[in-house]
Structure 1
Amino acid sequence: MASRGMPLDTAAIFSTIMEAILYGFSVLMFVGTIWTLTYKRRMKEINRPIVVVAFMLLILSTAHMIVDIIRIEQGLVTYRDTFPGGPQAFFADVSQVTFVIKNIIYTMQTMVGDGMVIYRCYIVWQTVWVIIIPSLLWFGITVCGICAVYSVSQATSQAGNIFAKATGQWITAFYAMTLASNLLASGFLAYRIWMMERNVSAIRVSRSSMMPIVRVLADAAILYSVTLLSALVCFVEANNGQYVILDMIMPIISIAFYMVIIRMAMKTRSHSYLSTVGMGSETARGTAQQYHMKPMQVHISQITHEDDASKLAY
């Protein structure tokens, strides 16, 4: 299948520039994430799995950025005059080591990012039944990613055309299942938090609300899903724009993860601070007769609901 769209050397330059911009933003968000997770917290209070995942996403994004820079240098400088067909043919050759490594890193990044969305969904629902379909899709993503990388690494006569059937069928399935898994897990997660909010909104004793969490979850899901859908459409249409979007997805996965963690951490800190201030002011005001049993029970119920959601960050 013949490719369409911008020339591949132009696509390589543009994709690297866009990835670098988003990568810089993701690094800033990584710093903010680590700060919110560790500031004024003892070591045992830090959610170490979340910190590990944050570092993994940063390392994978950095590795992908480095490989892209090396690939640009090889295609436009080192092999510009010696590679048969010039830079266009170099960037079209899917059997190049740098291209294979890029796809391995992207597959790993996707597995980590999608796995964390499913993990968040399980933490909030506290049941495996809700994550069965997303988990099956995640395993399908893993298989398709491995098969796609393998078919690319073994490309010979079909090298130079990533849209060929041997590689295209696996990549199309990979994009489609990633999109479905992300939408399902994010939808279940947002629905559960929205239900918690609705259940306590009528009897809330403070102004604290979990709706900002729902909004940031929706924003992260939309950001990632729109990017994936664009990549899928470009790939199905054999448009070289998919190379640009593919490189952009790498830092976007990190950004979507970081923005949820930062917002959850801010929400948890704010709730903790308001609860502490409220208890202090009530204590200062007077006697035990001023405390009514019903409001106390409602307040504890609310904290229980919000603590379930706060596990996403802590």
Structure 2
Amino acid sequence: MFVVTSLMALFATIDIALGLRHNLDAFIFYTGPGGPDGEFDNISNWVNVMKTVDTQIMSLIGDGMLIFRCYTVFSGRWKIIVLPLLMWLGDAVLSAIIICITATLRRDAIISQQASLKPFLYSFFVINIILNIITTGMIILRIWSVNKKSSPYVTHVDPQQGCTRLQRAMRIIIESGFIYSALMIATFVCELASSNAIYGVSDVLVVAVGVSFNLIIIRIHWTATSTVSHEVTLSYSLRFVTSSQIAFPQDSLEIAVTPNMEMSHGISGSDSQEVKDGWNAI
């Protein structure tokens, strides 16, 4: 997660730097025909090409991590992510084609008006939007299923949010997924309309990929830590075996524990070691 976060910060910063350089070239340094418009309309300008590379890489990193999160919440079941992974590979191929065409067009017109680019751009956006909706929906469905099964045993509800931690996690993932998907759809609409607004919206999209990714980490971490307050929360993971594996003496005390549960105690720091020793003794 640290590596991915660092890469997203790097590419988002590069995108801003490239945008600044392009503005300086157009309004200050460019002296050719057409003025600033002539500079901006040069699709194969190295700044335009590098911004395209930056945008495509950011989208691929964000989508790849979304697939990884789906893979993680489904406990490493490869069958679950086969379709999203194939769609991601398709987007990677389309990204490479888009970059190659952008670098070799050598024409004066905005990107969305280039007929040779349109089929690949349309395909990229459609696959990307469907990929995000499917993968985000699968993650939410998995968390909802686990929350439903564990709800009879969950006693802690956040008084401020009025929901359990899993329900809070679902809300966060829905909100973060909506931010990215909405901007992707807006960019696609600008592409369909052949509007210059695609430049501004796509620049926002590059940053939104990192925001939506890190927003999940920050907000879920805050939710987990904010419920602790000044208390110390000790969680003891329990291992379960079948009764046939244990030979109980006749005078022993048999303790029945519901499977798939985690026992947690919120206690003050002064009593933590005593509770630990008592639990270990049990």
TM-score by length of 1: 0.71
- The match for 1:139 among 82, 89, 99 is 89
Residues 1:300 and 2:262 aligned together = yes
* One-letter identity of the residue aligned with 1:83: G
Query: Quick check: 1:137–1:177 contact (8 Å CA) kept in 2?
Result: yes
Gaps of 5+ in 1: 1-49, 281-290, 303-314
- The match for 1:251 among 192, 199, 207 is 207
Residues 1:215 and 2:164 aligned together = no
Q: Distance in 2 between matches of 1:106 and 1:78?
A: 25
Matches within 5 A, 1:32-111: 50-79=1-30, 82-111=31-60
Query: Quick check: 1:234–1:240 contact (8 Å CA) kept in 2?
Result: yes
Q: Distance in 2 between matches of 1:258 and 1:154?
A: 35
1:189-244 Cα distance to aligned partner (Å, 9 max, x none): 11101111111112223334311100010001111011000110110111111111
Q: Distance in 2 between matches of 1:263 and 1:203?
A: 24
1:248-290 Cα distance to aligned partner (Å, 9 max, x none): 001100100011011222344457789954779xxxxxxxxxx
Which structure has more strand as a fraction of its residues?
2
Q: Distance in 2 between matches of 1:279 and 1:240?
A: 55
Residues 1:169 and 2:119 aligned together = yes
Q: Residue 153 of structure 1 aligns with which residue? A: 103
Query: Quick check: 1:205–1:295 contact (8 Å CA) kept in 2?
Result: no
Identical-residue share of aligned pairs (%): 20
Larger radius of gyration: 2
Matches within 5 A, 1:144-293: 144-156=94-106, 158-162=107-111, 163-207=113-157, 208-269=164-225, 276-277=232-233, 293=255
Query: Quick check: 1:203–1:298 contact (8 Å CA) kept in 2?
Result: no
Which structure has more helix as a fraction of its residues?
1
Q: Distance in 1 between matches of 2:187 and 2:58?
A: 16
Q: Residue 64 of structure 2 aligns with which residue? A: 115
* One-letter identity of the residue aligned with 1:185: T
Deviates more, 1:216-225 or 1:171-180: 171-180
1:5-43 Cα distance to aligned partner (Å, 9 max, x none): xxxxxxxxxxxxxxxxxxxxxxxxxxxxxxxxxxxxxxx
Q: Distance in 2 between matches of 1:196 and 1:224?
A: 25
Q: Distance in 1 between matches of 2:254 and 2:165?
A: 23
Q: Residue 42 of structure 1 aligns with which residue? A: none
Gaps of 5+ in 2: 158-163, 237-252, 265-282
Post-superposition, which runs of at least 4 consecutive aligned residues in structure 1 deviate over 4 A? 270-276, 291-298
Q: How many residues align?
A: 240
TM-score by length of 2: 0.78
1:238 is paired with a residue of what secondary structure?
Answer: coil
Q: Distance in 2 between matches of 1:101 and 1:88?
A: 19
Q: Residue 240 of structure 2 aligns with which residue? A: none
Distance 1:201 1:67, change over 3 A: same
Shift of 1:301: 8.2
Q: Distance in 1 between matches of 2:67 and 2:230?
A: 30
Distance 1:165 1:205, change over 3 A: same
RCO comparison, higher one (Cα < 8 Å, 6+): 1
